[in-house]
Chain A
Amino acid sequence: MRIALAATCIADTLFPAAPQAVVRLLERLGHEVVFPAGQTCCGQMHVNTGYVAEAVPVIRNHVRTFAPVADGEWDAVVIPSGSCTGSVRHQQAMVARRVGLDELAATAEAVAARTFELSELLVDVLGVTDVGAWFPHRVTYHPTCHSLRMVHVGDRPLRLLREVEGLDLVELPAAETCCGFGGTFAFKNADVSGAMLADKTANVRATAADVLTAGDMSCLMHIGGGLSRQRSGVRALHLAEILASTREDPTPLPAATFSEMTTA
């Protein structure tokens, strides 16, 4: 398959190891990965903060960049984020329509129909749960809110993790409770966000896991930021970084909370 990667603005800038792992993983599974250079961001931050007018050009840029998928140029678009996938599916066309851009809305819908969150792409489109990964560490999984309740990935990430050789998967208490990130919520309601984060990190630490993983780098930035502050020793890795790891090409546990980019 020819798969276009939407890296997400946050991973592109702050956490390149996550989209790099997507490339490693998909190429290992025999697929061709394309990175359309015109991409920036899906527009979610602007929409969710109330800046609809400012969101429109960002959305337009995303839709134009990935429009070729609707014409068969690529077989699918993959996004290593439940939140950004949710934005593409549930917000872009709605926002375009609200400002009267019906044509943009229609294209957005066509792109959204071929856009998949990573675990959806693997399980539903590529039909694999055992991706041949090896990751000999104790791992707990946080199902991010938008993965869970907007994109409905269900247990797909867990099914993928259960097949990883050597991986000791431990259940996260109160896993489905929000970590308190919420984009600009972390700033506008910093105190409440901090209280939610305290409970989430306490639950992560209670698992005695070496690694916290999730399908969204944004939530991992938040929880990982808390774990880093507490000098907890827990590492925050994107699901793709674990699935990309093999005996031959293992993903090392980073020296600090987040992975450094691979140099290859």
Chain B
Amino acid sequence: MSTFLGIPRRREADDEPFGPLPHPHEPLRWGESFPRAAKAALGNTQLRRNLAHATTTIRDKRARVVAEVPDWEALRDAGSAVKQQVLAELPELLARLEQSVTERGGVVHWARDADEANRIVAQIAEAKGADEVVKIKSMATQEIGLNEALAARGIAAIETDLAELIVQLADDMPSHFLVPAIHRNRTEIRDIFLARMAGAPADLSDAPRELATAAREHLRRKFLSAKVAVSGANFGVADTGTVAVVESEGNGRMCLTLPETLVTVMGIEKLVPTFTDLEVFLQLLPRSSTGERMNPYTSLWTGVTPGDGPQEFHLILLDNGRTKVLEDEVGRAALHCIRCSACLNVCPVYERVGGHAYGSVYPGPIGAILTPQLTGPSGAQSAGHDDPNASLPFASTLCGACYEVCPVKIDIPSILVDLRARAVDADRGRLVDPVAAAMKAASWAMSDAGRFAGAERAAALTHRVGGKDHVVRRLPYPGSLWTGSRDLPVPASRSFRRWWADRKESE
């Protein structure tokens, strides 16, 4: 069951230096399982260096500014409570939001899936005669593959966030929510600009200031000519109909104020009930994401204001699997996510493989619980081993660093474990599954001390193979998965249990 989203872009010969990835047909299912994609990513030395540097920097910054807030834990509790309320009252709150937006002169659209949302955006742009739209960085539009869908209808979507522009120019895919070009360094960015950005000065250096200036000049022309802007939403306030976007570069403010028509694509879980709820999230979000006390630009707009800003405002409320996630008691907490990316920055797995290995526009720990739920057959099921996304819940050591930093306290490790159980259950009944067989055997032995002691006595017989270092250095597959990187200690010649029994006997 694959949903076709837009035209898969044919890769040209000159894509090579920039695009390590073919553009996926499905933004949430790129096609390779995590272990395979991760292996490839680990081979990219430059990527690992960039990621280690970038994630360590952001992580330390976040830790510093969070430590300044005396009521941080209370804020997290409040954020979590508001999101729980939103999910519990979602239908009522959405209806209230629709009413508030409509009363203030906006138009609300409902999109069940990516195709519907893309069609609505395209129809609005076409009605305005626009063959170009400017975009504010948005995960929702990444999730639905909006740019590709618009391109298929002859409409160019211009990304105006600097990092997103880099990704777009390179025909690449984002690898992080907040810093989608985290896998690039400035030399690579210079090369991308020179090759792909019209009007880039020929003597462009890799100095950040020069790169930013070149992008600014390029984008300024687009801001001034665009008739339609497309944004996502960080928050939508049910009571007032206010929509909020937080950003750092000011490109969002340009998109939200200059073009005549504004289209916002918002996931239905992005709601907050009242305007005052924003006070919680506007404290949690910038400190968690960029490690700033306050983000440089916070734009709030409510419907249409005559003579000021866009004179036509469309709000597209996107489901695309979210109600399915909501059905699940455990997994639904993934919908609390405010896309801060703190969990990516602290994740030791993400730090080493980057975002592309997760095979979804939602990478990292939150991606590992969100992607398989959004794309799975239903909230409580898993597609099993045939679906590359079924490998995502296993892409974690369960170290818990993500849960510790999550500003809305999503217990990601517990949800990962729950999703693992579903992936295992989906595969039950396969003819040959050595892992399942081993797990069953272990369960049998470990359910009874007599059987376990017997297994220990048998294991102790292998003690001799460890030699004088008591380790095995090389094993055939699947033991080689361990011994490829590490020695394996052999079982002791006498278990603790035996030692204890012998000791009691000799007393």
Give the B-binding residues of A (Cβ under 8 A): 7, 9, 11-16, 19-20, 35, 37-41, 43, 45-52, 54-55, 57-58, 60-61, 65, 91, 145-146, 148-150, 176-178, 180-198, 221-222, 224-226, 228-229, 255-258, 260-261
**Interchain residue pairs with CB less than 8 A apart (16):** A13-B492, A43-B446, A148-B400, A176-B401, A185-B394, A185-B396, A186-B482, A189-B34, A190-B484, A192-B35, A194-B486, A225-B471, A225-B482, A257-B471, A261-B494, A261-B499
A15 proximity list for chain B (CB < 8 A): 489, 492
Interface of chain A: mostly helix, strand, loop or mixed = helix
A183 proximity list for chain B (CB < 8 A): 397-398
**Binary interface profile of B, 380-409, with partner A (CB < 8 Å = 1, else 0)?**
000000000000011111111101100000
Chain B interface size, under 10 / 10 to 19 / 20 to 34 / 35 or more:
35 or more
B393 proximity list for chain A (CB < 8 A): 50
Shortest CB-to-CB span from A129 to chain B, Å, is: 26
Interface of chain B: mostly helix, strand, loop or mixed = helix
* Inter-chain contact B468/A255, CB cutoff 8 Å: yes
A48 proximity list for chain B (CB < 8 A): 398, 417, 420
* Inter-chain contact B496/A194, CB cutoff 8 Å: no
Assembled-state Cα–Cα distance A19/B497 (Å):
10
Given contacts A182-B399, A192-B352, A225-B488, contact A256 B394 (CB under 8 A): no
Contacting residue for B447 out of A19, A58, A190, CB 8 A:
A58
Q: Does any Cβ of A come within 8 Å of B456's Cβ?
A: yes
Closest to A178 in B: B399
What would 4 more interface pairs be, CB under 8 Å, given A41-B446, A60-B447, A191-B35?
Answer: A16-B495, A37-B497, A41-B452, A182-B397
Closest to B504 in A: A35
Assembled-state Cα–Cα distance A258/B353 (Å):
31
Contacting residue for B496 out of A7, A52, A258, A260, CB 8 A:
A7
Q: Does any Cβ of A come within 8 Å of B424's Cβ?
A: yes
* Inter-chain contact A225/B469, CB cutoff 8 Å: no
* Inter-chain contact B443/A58, CB cutoff 8 Å: yes
Assembled-state Cα–Cα distance A65/B447 (Å):
11
Shortest CB-to-CB span from B403 to chain A, Å, is: 7
**Binary interface profile of B, 433-474, with partner A (CB < 8 Å = 1, else 0)?**
001100110110111110010001001000000001111010
* Inter-chain contact A13/B42, CB cutoff 8 Å: no
Give the A-binding residues of B (Cβ under 8 A): 34-35, 38-39, 42, 48, 348-349, 352-353, 393-401, 403-404, 417, 420-425, 435-436, 439-440, 442-443, 445-449, 452, 456, 459, 468-471, 473, 478, 481-482, 484-497, 499-501
* Inter-chain contact B486/A226, CB cutoff 8 Å: yes
Given contacts A13-B459, A178-B397, A196-B348, contact A260 B485 (CB under 8 A): no
* Inter-chain contact A61/B478, CB cutoff 8 Å: no
Assembled-state Cα–Cα distance A11/B491 (Å):
9
* Inter-chain contact A52/B492, CB cutoff 8 Å: no
